[in-house]
Chain A
Amino acid sequence: MMASSILIYGLVNSVILALIAIGFSLTFGISGVANFAYGGFYLLSGYLTWMLLKLLGLPFVLAVFITIVTVGFLGFLVYWVILLRVRGIVLSEVIATFALGVGMLEFFRWKGFVTYEFTLPYFKKGMVFIAGVPIDYQRLCIIGIGLALVLFLYVFTHHTRIGWSFRGIAQNERTAISLGIESDWTAALSLAFGCALSAVAAIAILPLGIISINMGYDVLLIAVAVGIVGGLESVLGILVASLILGYAQIITSMYLSAEWMMVVYLAAIVLVLIVKPSGLFGKFKELEERV
């Protein structure tokens, strides 16, 4: 019973971590922009869906579609309006996105989006028993969405033209430019994709609880922690790191208490930075970032 519940809930937790981290790492891997506004976009997606559902009364599928497209487009716009002007200056990129994210989150706090009414609906109510462990459909859906997303990203980056240009820019920007791939367009698209992925994650994960502002900061922490442990630009690294951290958290919360779950990140980050600062699977930028 204990073992099987650790197995199942650990998997759910790992998929949640992977879903959250994948958008951040995709953007960083392609364009080198660390999108610190990620938590802001995550919560923006939650509130946007909530408003479309509750205030406009749109059907769920349509609201989800509109949210994903809008948030993706906003990411595109952020690149084109703000980041393009400071491209290549790491300090400025970091500060600009960080300020944007904090600004969004604190704006929501000021508008008072903090009460109990802000919840997103489950995709499907009810629960089943797997190996004697009760689990609701929403968590099963999250596992499904996570797997589908990883598969989609793999197919997308390996079998479409945009995906090829993503990988080209990620591998060697100058060579890619000389082959006619637009660097700025690709980077803007990568930001749009990252933000759209944060919207997908938000819509899948937020129904599990109340939407709260601090979750925006937590999401950024999770994305960053998973990225550091796995290596920021490696998709395989993200998956492995999510599994390690996800199971470590569940085991910690079973044997210690739920408060220690966030401390797992601190321990993992410190440990990885001491042993292998570029992350477990982050080979690619190793030479550049680690002198």
Chain B
Amino acid sequence: MAVHYRKERLDRGIKARCEDIFALASHREMLYLLLPRVVPVIVLLSFPLLKGVVGLYWEKVVVITCAIALLSLSWDLMASVGLVSLGQALFFGAGSYITGSLNHAFGWPYFLTIPCGTVGGALFCALLLLPVLRLRGVYFAIVTLTLPLLLTRFIEASKILGGNEGLSSLSPLPNLWFELYVPVLALLVCLFAFRRLINDDYGLVLQGIRDNDLAVMSGAINIYQFKAQAVFIAGLAGSFAGAFMTHYYQFVGMPAFALDYSILPLTCAVLGGVGTFAGPTLGAFILVPLSEALRAFGTLRVVFYSAILIICIVGLPEGIFHYFQRKYHQFERKVEVG
């Protein structure tokens, strides 16, 4: 007579009412909640200090990782409103072209161009997407897919903003510490701000629009206004990544609208877990260093992202972050099945 077991999962006792309200009784339980939030922050903030140990190359990989993580955060915020974007490169490109052209044409310094590029890029994207916000689901995805590709063609044909060659020899960032710390700080601010935002009343409206926009409309809420605001906020994160990377590379050109900036943030978000913001960040910190390590494979890397995307979408739709979160917050034990 074989004895069968099944796995039983129990929530830890500190969970009071729902996912994110806790009843804490001891320092140990506080530590238990703080640890997963504080440790990544400390690691990220101390990483630039270790540049003697890990080498400058991997420090720069972290800069790129932060940029991609910002893009995937902006993707995730839009997905929280039900707007599935296949063209995050639009934000990146808008931010970098505005920054680059301000610096190139007027010689503005980085501390003016980066904020202008961030706000201007977000505003440009929000205005460009304004007529499309009435569309849902596939239609919106289709339009966002085409916009960055067509904007490239537009710049190519009209030869504005440097045309095919782009704008080069832009002014560099002041020093290495600035280069290494600003993206990390921006990522942390953005991550925690978005998490706060989405759990606020404002964020509840956004999630409501995703789940049932007709119900939100019947609550006398103008959903297009909220969608436009969400696109603007998401655009701030994406355009900042573009604006910063422009000065970092001292170059802006066609590659700013490249498909990489659309598909990589998407892959990060799907791998990490949609809707949590921490998930996409985690995804970025897994995928981007991995893709740097696989640099020798050239364009095969994109094939590799695509494979990950398909596997995750079909086989692991919740993403790895949700999985880890569940494991962390629950006990598991074997129970005999009688």
Query: A residues engaging B (CB < 8 A)?
Result: 28, 32, 34, 36, 82, 85-86, 89-96, 98-100, 102-103, 106-107, 109-110, 217, 220-221, 224-225, 227-228, 232, 257, 259-260, 262-263, 265-266, 269-270, 273-274, 277, 289-291
Contacts and interface: CB of A to CB of B under 8 A. Distances in A.
A262 B310 contact: no
A224 B146 contact: yes
A34 B134 contact: no
Interface in B89-145: 131-132, 134-139, 141-143, 145
Contacts of B151: 266
A260 to B, nearest CB: 5
A91 to B, nearest CB: 5
B309 interface: yes
Given A96-B310, A263-B154, 16 more contacts: A95-B270, A98-B263, A98-B309, A99-B306, A103-B306, A110-B297, A259-B156, A263-B157, A266-B147, A270-B131, A273-B131, A277-B131, A277-B132, A277-B135, A290-B135, A291-B136
Contacts of A227: 142
B299 A106 contact: yes
Most buried by A among B84, B149, B154, B156: B149
B86 A98 contact: yes
Contact of A95 (B158, B299, B307, B313): B313
B59 interface: no
A273 B317 CA distance: 32
A82 B310 contact: yes
A202 B131 CA distance: 33
B299 A266 contact: no
Given A221-B146, A289-B137, A102 B131 contact: no
30 contacts: A82-B314, A85-B314, A89-B317, A90-B84, A91-B84, A94-B86, A95-B266, A96-B313, A99-B267, A99-B305, A99-B309, A99-B310, A102-B259, A102-B302, A103-B305, A103-B307, A109-B299, A110-B297, A220-B145, A259-B153, A259-B156, A265-B150, A266-B151, A266-B153, A269-B143, A273-B143, A274-B131, A289-B135, A289-B137, A290-B135
A263 B155 CA distance: 9
A260 B134 contact: no
B310 A102 contact: no
Given A102-B306, A277-B131, A277-B135, A262 B157 contact: yes
A265 B147 CA distance: 10
A266 B237 CA distance: 25
Contacts of B138: 28, 32, 34, 90, 93-94
Nearest to A91: B84
- 10 closest A-B pairs by beta carbon, nearest first, are A103-B306, A99-B309, A266-B150, A106-B302, A259-B157, A262-B153, A99-B306, A90-B137, A110-B300, A34-B138
Interface of B: 79, 84, 86, 131-132, 134-139, 141-143, 145-147, 149-151, 153-154, 156-158, 213-214, 217, 223, 259, 263, 266-267, 270, 274, 297-300, 302-303, 305-307, 309-310, 313-314, 317
B157 A225 contact: no
B149 A217 contact: yes
A216 to B, nearest CB: 11
B79 to A, nearest CB: 7
A275 to B, nearest CB: 9
Contacts of A96: 309-310, 313-314
Nearest to A252: B157
Contacts of A85: 314
B265 to A, nearest CB: 12
Contacts of B314: 82, 85-86, 92, 96
